[in-house]
Chain A
Amino acid sequence: DAGITQSPRHKVTETGTPVTLRCHQTENHRYMYWYRQDPGHGLRLIHYSYGVKDTDKGEVSDGYSVSRSKTEDFLLTLESATSSQTSVYFCAISARAGEDEQYFGPGTRLTVT
Protein backbone atom coordinates (compact mmCIF):
# COMPACT_ATOMS: atom_id res chain seq x y z
CA ASP A 1 0.00 0.00 0.00
CA ALA A 2 1.14 3.52 -0.81
CA GLY A 3 2.18 5.39 2.32
CA ILE A 4 -0.54 8.00 2.65
CA THR A 5 -2.07 9.07 5.93
CA GLN A 6 -4.74 11.62 6.62
CA SER A 7 -5.49 13.36 9.87
CA PRO A 8 -7.83 13.63 11.54
CA ARG A 9 -9.92 10.71 10.31
CA HIS A 10 -13.10 12.13 11.75
CA LYS A 11 -13.99 15.65 12.81
CA VAL A 12 -17.11 17.46 13.91
CA THR A 13 -16.94 21.24 13.92
CA GLU A 14 -19.27 24.20 14.10
CA THR A 15 -20.19 26.58 11.31
CA GLY A 16 -17.77 29.48 11.04
CA THR A 17 -14.75 27.77 12.60
CA PRO A 18 -11.50 27.19 10.71
CA VAL A 19 -10.52 23.60 9.97
CA THR A 20 -7.27 22.16 8.64
CA LEU A 21 -6.93 18.67 7.24
CA ARG A 22 -3.53 17.11 6.76
CA CYS A 23 -2.26 14.67 4.17
CA HIS A 24 1.14 13.06 4.67
CA GLN A 25 2.95 10.81 2.18
CA THR A 26 6.10 8.75 2.44
CA GLU A 27 6.39 7.99 -1.30
CA ASN A 28 8.16 11.20 -2.36
CA HIS A 29 5.59 11.66 -5.13
CA ARG A 30 5.52 15.03 -6.83
CA TYR A 31 1.75 15.43 -7.27
CA MET A 32 -0.79 15.65 -4.47
CA TYR A 33 -4.55 16.20 -4.68
CA TRP A 34 -7.52 16.93 -2.47
CA TYR A 35 -10.94 15.58 -3.42
CA ARG A 36 -14.32 15.64 -1.77
CA GLN A 37 -16.81 12.80 -2.08
CA ASP A 38 -20.52 13.44 -1.85
CA PRO A 39 -23.48 11.17 -2.65
CA GLY A 40 -24.56 11.58 -6.26
CA HIS A 41 -21.42 13.50 -7.23
CA GLY A 42 -18.61 10.98 -7.18
CA LEU A 43 -15.27 12.59 -6.38
CA ARG A 44 -14.55 16.19 -7.26
CA LEU A 45 -11.15 17.84 -7.24
CA ILE A 46 -10.71 20.73 -4.81
CA HIS A 47 -7.04 21.68 -5.25
CA TYR A 48 -3.87 19.99 -6.38
CA SER A 49 -0.15 20.51 -6.07
CA TYR A 50 2.56 19.83 -8.63
CA GLY A 51 5.48 20.59 -6.35
CA VAL A 52 6.52 22.36 -3.16
CA LYS A 53 4.74 25.72 -3.05
CA ASP A 54 3.11 25.00 -6.44
CA THR A 55 -0.65 24.60 -6.24
CA ASP A 56 -3.68 25.20 -8.41
CA LYS A 57 -7.45 25.14 -8.19
CA GLY A 58 -9.69 22.28 -9.10
CA GLU A 59 -13.37 22.04 -9.91
CA VAL A 60 -14.75 23.00 -6.47
CA SER A 61 -12.14 25.25 -4.87
CA ASP A 62 -14.37 28.00 -3.44
CA GLY A 63 -14.09 28.17 0.34
CA TYR A 64 -10.87 26.11 0.46
CA SER A 65 -7.19 26.93 0.49
CA VAL A 66 -4.14 24.68 0.43
CA SER A 67 -0.49 24.81 1.26
CA ARG A 68 2.50 22.61 0.53
CA SER A 69 5.71 23.61 2.27
CA LYS A 70 7.29 20.14 2.10
CA THR A 71 7.09 17.35 -0.44
CA GLU A 72 5.43 15.03 2.04
CA ASP A 73 2.69 17.29 3.42
CA PHE A 74 -0.35 18.85 1.76
CA LEU A 75 -2.74 20.82 3.95
CA LEU A 76 -6.36 21.67 3.15
CA THR A 77 -7.89 24.58 5.08
CA LEU A 78 -11.51 25.59 5.37
CA GLU A 79 -11.18 29.20 6.53
CA SER A 80 -14.75 29.38 7.82
CA ALA A 81 -16.53 26.05 7.65
CA THR A 82 -20.10 25.87 6.31
CA SER A 83 -22.62 23.04 6.40
CA SER A 84 -22.19 22.57 2.64
CA GLN A 85 -18.62 21.47 3.33
CA THR A 86 -19.81 18.43 5.27
CA SER A 87 -18.24 15.65 3.23
CA VAL A 88 -15.63 12.95 3.07
CA TYR A 89 -12.27 14.33 1.99
CA PHE A 90 -9.68 12.22 0.22
CA CYS A 91 -6.06 12.99 -0.44
CA ALA A 92 -4.32 11.36 -3.39
CA ILE A 93 -0.78 11.26 -4.76
CA SER A 94 0.86 10.40 -8.04
CA ALA A 95 4.40 10.30 -9.35
CA ARG A 96 3.44 11.93 -12.63
CA ALA A 97 0.39 13.61 -14.11
CA GLY A 98 -1.75 12.28 -16.92
CA GLU A 99 -1.90 8.52 -17.32
CA ASP A 100 -0.23 7.77 -14.04
CA GLU A 101 -2.19 6.04 -11.29
CA GLN A 102 -3.30 8.08 -8.29
CA TYR A 103 -3.06 6.49 -4.86
CA PHE A 104 -5.69 7.49 -2.34
CA GLY A 105 -5.57 7.97 1.39
CA PRO A 106 -8.18 6.53 3.79
CA GLY A 107 -10.26 9.71 3.92
CA THR A 108 -11.42 12.22 6.54
CA ARG A 109 -15.09 12.45 7.42
CA LEU A 110 -15.91 16.07 8.26
CA THR A 111 -19.23 17.14 9.71
CA VAL A 112 -20.04 20.84 10.02
CA THR A 113 -22.97 21.51 12.38
Chain B
Amino acid sequence: GDSVTQMEGPVTLSEEAFLTINCTYTATGYPSLFWYVQYPGEGLQLLLKATKADDKGSNKGFEATYRKETTSFHLEKGSVQVSDSAVYFCALTSSGAGSYQLTFGKGTKLSVIP
Protein backbone atom coordinates (compact mmCIF):
# COMPACT_ATOMS: atom_id res chain seq x y z
CA GLY B 1 0.00 0.00 0.00
CA ASP B 2 0.85 3.67 -0.10
CA SER B 3 3.26 5.02 2.49
CA VAL B 4 5.08 8.20 3.45
CA THR B 5 8.39 8.39 5.27
CA GLN B 6 9.61 11.65 6.74
CA MET B 7 12.66 12.49 8.76
CA GLU B 8 12.31 11.91 12.45
CA GLY B 9 12.44 14.83 14.77
CA PRO B 10 12.50 16.76 16.80
CA VAL B 11 14.37 19.37 14.80
CA THR B 12 15.70 22.41 16.66
CA LEU B 13 16.95 25.41 14.73
CA SER B 14 17.98 28.94 15.52
CA GLU B 15 15.96 31.77 14.06
CA GLU B 16 16.93 32.60 10.44
CA ALA B 17 18.45 29.15 9.86
CA PHE B 18 17.70 27.12 6.73
CA LEU B 19 15.15 24.34 7.09
CA THR B 20 14.88 21.05 5.24
CA ILE B 21 12.48 18.29 6.23
CA ASN B 22 12.85 15.22 4.06
CA CYS B 23 9.87 13.29 2.76
CA THR B 24 9.83 10.25 0.48
CA TYR B 25 6.84 8.22 -0.61
CA THR B 26 5.71 4.92 -2.06
CA ALA B 27 2.54 4.94 -4.09
CA THR B 28 0.87 3.36 -7.07
CA GLY B 29 -0.21 5.63 -9.85
CA TYR B 30 0.39 9.37 -9.71
CA PRO B 31 -0.23 10.73 -6.23
CA SER B 32 -0.87 14.29 -5.19
CA LEU B 33 1.49 15.42 -2.45
CA PHE B 34 0.85 17.69 0.50
CA TRP B 35 2.53 19.31 3.47
CA TYR B 36 0.31 20.02 6.44
CA VAL B 37 1.27 21.98 9.55
CA GLN B 38 -0.12 21.59 13.06
CA TYR B 39 0.40 24.36 15.59
CA PRO B 40 0.14 23.47 19.29
CA GLY B 41 -3.42 22.64 20.34
CA GLU B 42 -4.84 23.01 16.85
CA GLY B 43 -5.94 20.89 13.92
CA LEU B 44 -3.94 20.46 10.74
CA GLN B 45 -3.75 23.16 8.09
CA LEU B 46 -2.66 22.72 4.51
CA LEU B 47 0.72 24.40 3.98
CA LEU B 48 1.28 23.57 0.31
CA LYS B 49 0.58 20.95 -2.31
CA ALA B 50 1.72 19.65 -5.71
CA THR B 51 -0.36 17.52 -8.00
CA LYS B 52 2.06 16.38 -10.71
CA ALA B 53 5.73 15.73 -11.28
CA ASP B 54 8.04 18.78 -11.22
CA ASP B 55 5.34 20.99 -9.71
CA LYS B 56 6.56 23.26 -6.95
CA GLY B 57 4.22 24.10 -4.11
CA SER B 58 4.92 27.23 -2.09
CA ASN B 59 3.35 29.19 0.74
CA LYS B 60 4.55 31.48 3.55
CA GLY B 61 8.18 31.11 2.40
CA PHE B 62 8.01 27.30 2.41
CA GLU B 63 8.61 25.34 -0.79
CA ALA B 64 8.55 21.72 -1.91
CA THR B 65 9.08 20.20 -5.36
CA TYR B 66 7.42 17.00 -6.54
CA ARG B 67 10.29 14.76 -7.68
CA LYS B 68 8.95 11.63 -9.32
CA GLU B 69 12.38 10.21 -10.15
CA THR B 70 13.39 10.20 -6.48
CA THR B 71 9.83 9.83 -5.10
CA SER B 72 10.47 12.79 -2.83
CA PHE B 73 8.75 15.99 -1.69
CA HIS B 74 11.19 17.69 0.68
CA LEU B 75 10.05 20.81 2.55
CA GLU B 76 12.40 23.81 2.61
CA LYS B 77 12.45 27.31 4.00
CA GLY B 78 15.30 29.73 3.68
CA SER B 79 14.96 31.53 7.01
CA VAL B 80 12.80 30.12 9.78
CA GLN B 81 11.07 32.18 12.45
CA VAL B 82 10.00 31.33 15.99
CA SER B 83 6.40 31.34 14.72
CA ASP B 84 7.23 28.38 12.45
CA SER B 85 7.54 26.12 15.48
CA ALA B 86 5.00 23.36 14.82
CA VAL B 87 4.64 19.77 13.70
CA TYR B 88 4.89 19.22 9.93
CA PHE B 89 3.25 16.29 8.15
CA CYS B 90 3.94 15.06 4.65
CA ALA B 91 0.97 13.30 3.01
CA LEU B 92 -0.22 11.86 -0.26
CA THR B 93 -3.42 10.88 -1.93
CA SER B 94 -3.41 8.52 -4.87
CA SER B 95 -5.02 9.22 -8.17
CA GLY B 96 -7.81 7.12 -9.58
CA ALA B 97 -11.23 6.05 -8.52
CA GLY B 98 -11.81 5.48 -4.83
CA SER B 99 -8.81 7.55 -3.74
CA TYR B 100 -10.54 9.02 -0.74
CA GLN B 101 -7.90 9.05 1.90
CA LEU B 102 -4.76 10.91 2.78
CA THR B 103 -1.79 8.81 3.85
CA PHE B 104 0.33 10.72 6.36
CA GLY B 105 3.89 10.49 7.51
CA LYS B 106 4.48 10.39 11.26
CA GLY B 107 5.24 14.09 11.52
CA THR B 108 8.33 16.13 12.29
CA LYS B 109 8.33 18.51 15.22
CA LEU B 110 10.19 21.74 14.55
CA SER B 111 11.30 24.06 17.34
CA VAL B 112 12.83 27.42 16.42
CA ILE B 113 14.71 29.24 19.15
CA PRO B 114 15.45 32.97 19.18
Contact = CB atoms under 8 A, between A and B. Distances in A.
A99 B49 contact: yes
Interface residues of B, number: 24
B32 interface: yes
B43 A105 contact: yes
Interface centre among A40, A101, A107 (most CB of B within 10 A): A101
A102 B44 CA distance: 9
A98 B32 contact: yes
Contacts, number: 56
A40 B106 contact: yes
A81 B89 CA distance: 28
Interface stretch (B14-22, B74-82, B92-100): B92-100
A50 B105 contact: no
Interface string B68-111: 00000000000000000000010001111011111011110000
B99 A90 contact: no
A93 B44 CA distance: 12
B44 A98 contact: no
Contacts of A44: 104
Given A43-B44, A43-B89, A107-B43, A102 B102 contact: yes
Nearest to B42: A106
Interface string A30-74: 010100000011111100101000001011000000000000000
Given A42-B105, A99-B49, A104 B100 contact: no
Contact of B104 (A43, A98, A99, A103): A43
5 contacts: A33-B100, A42-B106, A98-B95, A98-B96, A106-B42
The 7 closest A-B pairs by CB, nearest first: A104-B43, A99-B32, A42-B104, A42-B106, A104-B44, A43-B104, A45-B101
